[in-house]
Structure 1
Amino acid sequence: MRHYAVCLLCASVSLLPLPSLARPAPATPTPAAAPAPTLPPLTESDSTFAENVSALNTFEINISTLAAEQAKRRKVQEFARSSARMHTTNQKTLTTMALKHGLALHQEMSPDEEQIAGQLKTENGAKFDRDYLDLQAQAASDALAMFQNEAESASDPELKAYAAATADTLQANLKESLQLGASKPSR
C-alpha cells in the first residue's frame, strides 16, 4: 500500500505545473488603440484634383530648390526659398488629408515636368532667373484656376477649405513672380 501511495503521490505531483517549466497562461488581448476613423473615399473629381496638386507641388519644390541655389538675383533666390517652403507645406497638408480618405498620393514629376526641370538645370544667370520666374507665373496662373474651381465644387469640406486658402496664396505667388520680372502667363 505504501508503494501505491508513493505512486499516487508522484502521479498527482507530476500533474502540477512547476514554476520553472510552466507555460504562462495566454495573455488576454488588451484592446489596442482604435485606428483613426477612416473617412469615405474622395469623389473622382476630388481625387483627380489631389493627384494633380501633388504632382504640381513636387515640380514646384524641385525647381524652387534649384532656383534657391542657382538664381543670380538675391530676390529670386528668396522667392524660390519661399516657394519651396510653401509647396512643401501644401504637400504635407494635402497628403495628410488624402490619407484620411485612403488615398496615397504619388509624388513624382511627369516626364514633361522632368524635361522642363532638366532644361532649367542647364541654364544660368539672367536667363535662368527669367525662365524660372516665367515657370512660376505660368504654374501659379494654371493652378489658381484649378484651386478656385475646387474651392467652389469640392465634395469634401476640408479639401474645399484647403483649396480656398491655397488659392489666395497662389494669387500672391503669381503677383510676386510678375513683380520680379516674369512674363504675363498665357491662358
Structure 2
Amino acid sequence: MGGALAATVGSLLYPAMLGVQKVSSAPERVIATPATGPLTEADRDFVVQVRSAGLWEYPVGQTASKKGTTKAVKTAGEHLIEGHASLDAACRTVAGQLGITLPNQPSPQQQGFVATLKADSGRQFDIDMATLLRASDGRLLSTIASVRTTTKNSLVRALADQANDTVLDNLTVLEKTGLVDFGQALFQETTAPTLPAQDITPPPPVATQPQVVLTRSANSTLSPSPSVG
C-alpha cells in the first residue's frame, strides 16, 4: 500500500482488531449452564465477534465483487459474501439457542474499514482490500483456535469449526489475488492491541430494529458451507 491511503488504512488497523483484544474482565467466568455445556464470557464474546466480523466483511465482499479490477479480487469478494452468509446463519442459530444478544452493526473500527475501502478505487482498492482482510482474518484465526481448544460448550465448538473453515477459505482466496502486502499484514497481526474497548466493540442492537440477516447471492455458484445444527 502506498501514499496517504496506506497511512489511513494503517491507522485504522493499528493497533487492535476485534477478536484479539479481550473485552471481558473475566473471560473464564461461567455465565450460563445450558445442556450443551458451560458458557463463559469468552464464549459469548466469540459469538459476538463472529457476527461482527461478518457485518463488515460481507459488505466489503459485495464491494470487491463489483469494484475489483481483477477476476481474482472479484472471486475473493464472492467468497466473502457466501462464506459470511453461511457463517452468519450459524451464528444467529447458536446465539438464539444460547440466549446471546447479537449486534446489528460492526464495531466503530470495522465501520471505518468499510468506509475506507468504499472510498478507494482501482488497483489501490484491490491491494488495500486484500491486505486489510488478510490481516484481520489472520488475527481472527488465532482467536478461533483459542476458543475452539478451551470452550466446554458444544455449540460454540461447532461454530468455531465453521468459522475456522470460512476464515481459512477467505485467507486462501485473498492470497490468490497476489496483492497482499504480507509485511503490512503480518505487522498488524503481531502488534499488541491498545484501542479503547468502545472502538472495537459493536454497539448493542436497537430494540425496535429487525435483526440484520446476511444472505447469499441469488446467482452464486459457490457451495454453501455446512451449518451448525
Q: Which of residues 172, 177, 180 in structure 2 aligns to 1:182?
A: 180
Q: Name the one with the larger helix percent.
A: 1
* Paired position in structure 2 for 1:170: 167
Paired with 1:62 and 1:161, the residues of 2 have a C-alpha distance of 25
Q: Which of residues 140, 145, 156 in structure 1 aligns to 2:142?
A: 145
Question: Structure 1 pair 109/166, CA: closer, same or farther in 2 (3 Å)?
Answer: closer
Question: What's the CA shift string for 1:50-94, capped at 9, x where partnerless?
Answer: 111111111111111111111111221111011111011101101
Residue 64 of structure 1 contacts residue 80 of structure 1 at CA under 8 Å; is this kept in 2?
yes
Paired with 2:145 and 2:48, the residues of 1 have a C-alpha distance of 16
TM-score norm. by structure 1 comes to 0.74
**Higher mean displacement: 135-144 or 159-168:** 159-168
Q: Which of residues 95, 98, 116 in structure 2 aligns to 1:98?
A: 95
Cα distance, 1:115 vs structure 2: 1.7
Residue 65 of structure 1 contacts residue 80 of structure 1 at CA under 8 Å; is this kept in 2?
yes
Residue 131 of structure 2 contacts residue 180 of structure 2 at CA under 8 Å; is this kept in 1?
yes
Structure showing greater Rg? 1
Paired with 2:62 and 2:162, the residues of 1 have a C-alpha distance of 23
Cα distance, 1:179 vs structure 2: 2.4
Are residue 72 (structure 1) and residue 69 (structure 2) matched? yes
* Paired position in structure 2 for 1:81: 78
Cα distance, 1:124 vs structure 2: 1.0
Cα distance, 1:98 vs structure 2: 1.1
Question: What's the CA shift string for 1:153-175, capped at 9, x where partnerless?
Answer: 11211211221342233223213
Question: What's the CA shift string for 1:2-34, capped at 9, x where partnerless?
Answer: xxxxxxxxxxxxxxxxxxxxxxxxxxxxxxxxx
Q: Which of residues 97, 105, 108 in structure 2 aligns to 1:108?
A: 105
- Residue type at the aligned position of 2:95: A
Find runs of 4+ consecutive structure 1 residues off by over 4 angstroms.
none
Question: Structure 1 pair 179/75, CA: closer, same or farther in 2 (3 Å)?
Answer: closer
Cα distance, 1:48 vs structure 2: 0.8
In structure 1, runs of 5+ residues without a counterpart are: 1-37
Q: Quick one: higher RCO (CA 8 Å, sep 6+), 1 or 2?
A: 2
In structure 2, runs of 5+ residues without a counterpart are: 1-32, 191-229
- Mapping of residues 109-148 of structure 1, within 5 Å: 109-148=106-145
Cα distance, 1:177 vs structure 2: 1.2
3-state SS of the aligned residue for 1:135? Answer: helix
Paired with 2:171 and 2:159, the residues of 1 have a C-alpha distance of 18
Q: Which of residues 160, 165, 168 in structure 1 aligns to 2:157?
A: 160
Q: Which of residues 19, 37, 42 in structure 1 aligns to 2:39?
A: 42
